[in-house]
Amino acid sequence: MGDSDLALVVLRAPEFNGGLSTFYGDLLPSRAAQIAVGHAVRNIIRARLPEYRENLVDAVAELPATERWPEAGVALVYRCTADLVLHPAAPPALRRLLARSVGGGLLIRSPLMRERLRVEMLRPTLFAALVAYIGQRRAQGIGSGEPRDLLDAVLGACPEEATDRVVAELYVLLFRSIVGNVGYAVAWTVLLAGLHSAPGAPWPWPTDWIVREAARHRPFVSMVGRPVPHPVAFGGVAFRTGAILSVSPYLLHHDERHWSRPQTFDPERWGRADTPGPYLPFSAGRSAAPVRPSPRP
């Protein structure tokens, strides 16, 4: 959907936002189950943010002098979150498989056919190891304490009837969304800020502005889908129940009717008094509402 006004109707109207989220596909049976998993994952990430910040300093220092882009951003975020994603007590072989998947193209789709083939060869091995480990964890019992890692959070929030394979699918989906999307955001933020500032000089904008503008200029989610709840004519086109209306965050962020000079990387726009246009970098939220500019610190 290329028309921003129609796209905003889809993102805001209750009729398109009351059912199951297409993010999870058919992995969870109800909206309540989707919300429970989402909240569990959000809570463990928030609780472990201080750990992430501490790890970031060491992870940056360990980066090689040259690295492939945007894989470098994803690798950096994974190094900071490896123990959050999978507890150190997990089988070493499984942790190695997960680390291989980060550099093997599971999180960022490669344009090279040989790398896509490598991912497809790795995927069955990774899922088989995950399913086996999930079965072991369930047999041992999850416990009532705080989750140790992302997998504990998913297991604790999933309906009991969810199979080990479904839990593995959910886990990988969330792992890709956390490490892949955040890593992609880091990569674009550093690249765009570096390209648009003087070499060797400190960046002239607050970090918050740079991150927001990088997310606007190159949003990390390509499409956001909403299911059609009943037969409807929308934008002059008839849709059947269950059809998916897809909104492009990129088109929303580059619509000249809502954004000034949208093709320009301009972190300063986030400090000006005028309210930015519709903003949907991670497909989060119900309304794609404008974000108010933040004051310069």
Query: pLDDT for 27-57, tens place per residue?
Result: 999 999 999 999 999 999 999 999 999 999 8
* Residues recorded for the chain: 297
Q: How many other β-carbons are positioned within 10 Å of the β-carbon of residue 277?
A: 22
pLDDT confidence of residue 225: 85
Strands (E), the chain: 224-227, 232-234, 237-239, 244-247
Give the position of tokens 């955040």: 182
CA dist., res. 118 & res. 120, Å (int): 5
Q: Are 296 and 206 in contact (CB under 8 A)?
A: yes
Instruction: Classify residue 31 by its DSSP letter.
Output: H
Residue 61 has pLDDT above 90, yes or no: no
CA dist., res. 137 & res. 155, Å (int): 9
pLDDT confidence of residue 297: 47
Query: pLDDT for 154-169, tens place per residue?
Result: 999 999 999 999 999 9
Q: Name the average pLDDT for the chain.
A: 86
Written as six digits, the tokens of 207 are 């970090």
